[in-house]
Amino acid sequence: MIKKVILGALLIGTAIVGKAQNKIAEHDIEGKMKWFEEAKLGIFIHAGIYSVADVSESWSFHNGTISVDDYMKQQNGYTLSKYDPAAWAEMIKDCGARYCVITTKHHDGVAMYNTKVGKLSAVKTCAAKKDMIKPFFEELRKREVKCGAYFSLIDWTHNDYPGYLKNKERYDIKKEPARWERFQKFFQGQIKEISDAFNPDLWWFDGDWEHSAEEWQAEKTRNMILEKNANTIINGRLQGYGDYDTPEQNFPVVRPAFKWWELCMTMNENWGYRVSDNNWKTPYEIITIFVDAVSNGGNLLLDIGPKPDGTYPEPVVSTLKELGDWNKRNGEGIFGTIPGIPQGHYYGPTTLSKDSKTLFLFVHGKTSGQVLLKGIDNKIQDITVLGSNVKLTHKVVGKISWSSVPGLVYIDLPETAIDKYVTCIKVTLDAPIKLYRGKGGFLTN
């Protein structure tokens, strides 16, 4: 029985989750999504054999930039010899992330956990000879970081999977339905293994675009997962059977119409580690993108990729440290907030406290001087800068006693009070925020 439309009604123009309309029964979607909505920051980890030979994750052999043989040989170099799951979890916790999503299996079919139903894994066919996921989830959970399992539906190296190379399919599922059924059993078997072994708080499917909802048996797959854990969250890449949308490397210009969304973004240009990729986003860029996502009601899922020995390149470590320090100074304006006020009242990102009595204004870069707020029909009780707690003065300009126009608020932000990346100004109001968008006129009271 369909009790509730998950995202469909909330969506305007989104391809993926929009298809969920009228299809999904859900016990308590709001309750289930609560932690996700409050999390704001997640770390995405693309761990896999592709880190060995400076190639892109799975796509490199699929697109023919490396032969399948050479690609698979990377398993011998995937040692994880310095893998320290506790240190990983610590680094993630420390940057302020509330959840982490790691590749349990990418499109190349090499599982990072100890799969019994699959042939390829970090345990059986890689030099590492170990399950990466088990100890990592344990360490995350010790630190109360939610655990997400990325799982690729596509499995380009599996003999029963129709897709293989860009220009070479294995077979047509219409002609060989039994073979496709074998594959369905296989991937669902892996999902069951992951459910049973790790009970993920979140499932991050990928690759659904190669087949339809019917072909993936998306509804059955979803139900199977929810039967095990009704509270687990499913991303929007299960052909319409997900809970939230995943705009990939896409920075929404205006607030997306759907309720739950997550921007997934690489820290450099690749999802996995590549020695040649040094085009790192700076801490400033990452923080501004993060703030932008949060102010528009989304989360940032920031991707990093470990080296084959299980360590991280220096820019990953230092950027996460900077992000964590920024969150420690400014977290009050991020975590536990709701999306801010519409653009036009303030020329920058904003958030609000849950009771809407506190407005947080984010000021980019080294900007100091007078910060302008427009159309706020409230009395301001107090203005401070997060981190330093410096009290700020302000001036109301253009307020006429008989007019309903609230006047412009100019807040003085001195150079000495600004954050090295993004400053957060906390404006305490007398009551829940009231936005003025009128045309002027006499006060009625």
Q: Rule CB under 6 A: which residues touch ligand GLC? A: 46, 57, 59, 206, 248, 264, 271
Q: Which is nearer to ligand GLC, 57 or 322 (CB)?
A: 57
Strands 380-385 and 422-429 come out as antiparallel
Strands 41-45 and 168-169 come out as unpaired
Q: Which is nearer to ligand GLC, 241 or 271 (CB)?
A: 271
Q: 392, 384 in Cβ contact below 8 A?
A: yes
Q: Which is nearer to ligand GLC, 167 or 389 (CB)?
A: 167
**CA-wise closest residue to 154 among 66, 62, 263, 20:** 62
Q: Which is nearer to ligand GLC, 103 or 295 (CB)?
A: 103
Q: Which is nearer to ligand GLC, 78 or 271 (CB)?
A: 271
**What is the number of other CB atoms lying within 10 angstroms of the CB of residue 15?**
11
Minimum distance between the CB of residue 207 and ligand GLC, rounded to whole angstroms? 6
Minimum distance between the CB of residue 204 and ligand GLC, rounded to whole angstroms? 8
Minimum distance between the CB of residue 46 and ligand GLC, rounded to whole angstroms? 6
- The H or E element that residue 372 is part of is strand 369-373
Q: What are residue 325's phi and psi, to 5 degrees?
A: -65, -40
Q: Which is nearer to ligand GLC, 244 or 271 (CB)?
A: 271
> What is the token pair recorded at 207?
């690759």
Q: 22, 8 in Cβ contact below 8 A?
A: yes
Minimum distance between the CB of residue 282 and ligand GLC, rounded to whole angstroms? 22
Q: Which is nearer to ligand GLC, 133 or 425 (CB)?
A: 133
Q: What are residue 277's phi and psi, to 5 degrees?
A: -90, 100
Torsion of the alpha carbons at 428, 434, 440 and 443, rounded to the nearest 10: -90
C-alpha dist (Å) from residue 7 to 19, 211, 296: 8, 21, 17
Minimum distance between the CB of residue 301 and ligand GLC, rounded to whole angstroms? 8
d(CA 288, CA 93): 20
Q: Which is nearer to ligand GLC, 203 or 271 (CB)?
A: 271
DSSP 376: B
Q: Which is nearer to ligand GLC, 30 or 248 (CB)?
A: 248
C-alpha dist (Å) from residue 347 to 284, 310, 373, 436: 18, 42, 8, 16
**CA-wise closest residue to 208 among 217, 200, 198, 199:** 217
Q: Which residue has the tokens 């210009």?
A: 253
Minimum distance between the CB of residue 102 and ligand GLC, rounded to whole angstroms? 11
Minimum distance between the CB of residue 369 and ligand GLC, rounded to whole angstroms? 39
DSSP 280: P
Minimum distance between the CB of residue 131 and ligand GLC, rounded to whole angstroms? 20
Minimum distance between the CB of residue 165 and ligand GLC, rounded to whole angstroms? 15
C-alpha dist (Å) from residue 56 to 113, 263, 268, 428: 21, 20, 12, 48
The β-bridge partners of 206 are 152
